[in-house]
């Protein structure tokens, strides 16, 4: 596939957001052909460059999150910096930004102001809590979204504390919502001849939408679901089970037919005709007993032996992988899920390939995250037409 056959070729995205949710939107658009210009603070760059594991001072998360982006430095705290951003946005298709609403308005970077120079602009504004309520201007990170959405309340053992994820869950779910919102807004603009528009996305509501069932239960039954460990009160059996050789496997009986297969696979075909286990709601009422049956069976077998039985019986089960096991999985290797990408700082790095997969116009990785300001000359000279003296003056004043 060549660049001009990518589905988003010709689309220009200005990524003026920091950390995870907003930049992820731009990353995914860039994988499918959009030109992404990443705005970073001179000197320090996006804080995600300092996130997590580093190799020789290079942030590994940045390398993946910054894939396919052009990095330019620009100080939005200065009037001249904001003026340059307006020039970049004037002929762009999408702007992704995550300033607080009050800062956005004070700096005149709100959608109304930017739409006056680019009526077709799709602006993604990512905040902690969304506009229009008492928390509008509060700082927010994914951790707060994971807490307020109900996720942490449901995660963990019944007698243990609420549990937060060890990855950017709320940011990722918000970014997925924002990405498909961008595509809907572009369709409305380009197919229906509509105007650009503002996309308001926060870190609480997208994740809360996935965790809606407790709200439905509370609204209709007046009860508040609590933590159940690795069980789930909509299906049984469902848990992680420890094998004889110290590994773990996960199994789900969400579909009644699969639950019956699981009981037969562990040698308890008799339970498939027992009224306590043959019907879904009855299985939930006796979840602890059915769970023990499966757990005891798994505990007497190695992971390989247990998985062999479950696979032959077409039971929905899978090993619990760590990173080493994940990249070694034969199915993922066959699908090329973790390609090695050449990089001039790290030599090469294995990252996850774009998802989802399109048959005619698949996503691609052209390069990993660039150095801070690596594309200043290309963008400021070629796109904005700045000359040597102008660029030198902007550098001297700390604008770029």
Give me the active site residues, please.
171
Residue 3 neighbours by CB distance under 10 Å: 10
Peptide bond into 6 cis (omega under 30): no
How far is CA 205 from each of CA 45, 223, 309, 354, rounded to the nearest angstrom? Answer: 29, 21, 41, 25
**Of 378, 365, 355, nearest to 66 (Cα)?**
365
Q: Which residue has the tokens 């996935």?
A: 210
Task: Please tell me the distance from the alpha carbon of residue 243 to that of residue 240, in angstroms, as a whole number.
Answer: 10
Which class for 396: exposed (0-12), middle (13-18), buried (19 or more C-beta within 10 A)? exposed
Q: What is the largest CA-CA distance in the chain?
A: 84
Pairing of strands 54-55, 58-59: antiparallel
Contact 13, 36 (CB under 8 A): yes
């Amino acid at each position: 596939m060549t660049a001009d056959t990518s589905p988003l070729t010709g689309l220009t995205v200005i990524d003026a957001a920091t950390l995870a949710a907003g930049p992820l939107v731009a990353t995914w658009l860039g994988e499918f052909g959009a030109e992404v210009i990443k705005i970073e603070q001179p000197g320090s760059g996006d804080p995600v460059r300092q996130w997590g594991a580093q190799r020789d001072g290079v942030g590994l998360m940045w390398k993946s999150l910054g894939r396919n982006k052009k990095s330019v430095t620009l100080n939005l705290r200065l009037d001249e910096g904001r003026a340059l951003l307006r020039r970049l946005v004037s002929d762009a298709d999408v702007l992704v930004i995550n300033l607080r609403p009050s800062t956005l308005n004070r700096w005149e970077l709100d959608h109304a102001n930017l739409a006056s120079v680019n009526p077709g602009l799709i602006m993604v504004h990512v905040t902690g809590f969304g506009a229009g309520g008492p928390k509008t201007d509060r700082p927010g990170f994914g951790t707060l979204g994971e807490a307020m959405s109900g996720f942490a309340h449901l995660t963990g053992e019944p007698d243990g504390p609420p549990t937060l994820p060890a990855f950017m869950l709320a940011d990722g779910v918000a970014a997925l919502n924002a990405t498909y919102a961008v595509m809907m807004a572009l369709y409305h603009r380009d197919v229906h001849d509509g105007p650009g528009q503002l996309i308001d996305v926060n870190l609480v509501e997208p994740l809360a939408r996935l965790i809606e069932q407790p709200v439905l239960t509370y609204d209709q039954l007046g009860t508040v679901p609590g933590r159940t460990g690795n069980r789930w009160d909509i299906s049984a059996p469902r848990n992680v089970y420890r094998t004889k050789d110290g590994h773990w496997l996960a199994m789900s009986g969400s579909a009644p037919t699969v639950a019956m297969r699981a009981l037969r696979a562990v040698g308890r075909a008799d339970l498939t005709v027992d009224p306590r286990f043959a019907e879904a709601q009855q299985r939930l009422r006796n979840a602890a007993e059915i769970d023990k049956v499966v757990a005891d069976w798994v505990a007497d077998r190695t992971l390989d032996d247990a998985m062999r039985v479950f696979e032959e019986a077409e039971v929905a089960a899978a090993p619990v992988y760590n990173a080493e096991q994940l990249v070694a999985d034969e199915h993922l290797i066959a699908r090329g899920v973790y390609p090695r990408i050449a990089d001039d700082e790290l030599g090469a790095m294995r990252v996850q390939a774009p998802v989802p997969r399109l048959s005619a116009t698949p996503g691609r990785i052209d390069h990993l995250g660039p150095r801070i300001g690596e594309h200043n000359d290309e963008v400021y000279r070629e796109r904005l037409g700045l000359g040597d003296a102008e660029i030198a003056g902007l550098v001297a004043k700390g604008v770029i």
